[in-house]
Amino acid sequence: MSGTSDFLYPRGSYRGQFNPQHLVFNANLQEFAQRVGYISSLETNGKLSPEESYKQVKALWKQLKKSKKSLGIGQLPPLMDDEAS
């Protein structure tokens, strides 16, 4: 089972600056890329319409953006009282 799962859902190792938020976002980003690849292949082979493919990719993109925001990726840390003065 593990071999099949590794084949269908390959994961690259994370090489960036480690913190839990970046690691989770990297996993979400890899899943997004994998699923977009599947959708693209289905559309290319005529199994999905271009409109349906677009809707699915757009929904995945919204999920990824929500994940990024909830993890605080790319946001500046809040200023401390001493720094605000």
Full-model pTM:
0.75
Question: Using an 8 Å Cβ cutoff, are 53 and 14 in contact?
Answer: no
pLDDT digits (tens, 9 = 90+) for 22-50: 999 999 999 999 999 999 999 999 999 99
Token pair in block for residue 16: 């960036």
User: What is the per-residue pLDDT for 15?
Assistant: 78
User: What is the per-residue pLDDT for 53?
Assistant: 98
Which pLDDT band holds residue 16 (cuts at 50, 70, 90)? Answer: confident
Percent of the chain with pLDDT over 90: 60
Within 8 A by CB and 6+ apart from 72, the residues are 21
1, pLDDT greater than 60: no
Please state the rounded mean pLDDT for residues 55-71: 97
| Closest among 1, 71, 77, 76 to 29, alpha carbons compared | 71
Question: Using an 8 Å Cβ cutoff, are 36 and 60 in contact?
Answer: yes
Rg (CA), the chain: 18
Question: Using an 8 Å Cβ cutoff, are 25 and 33 in contact?
Answer: no
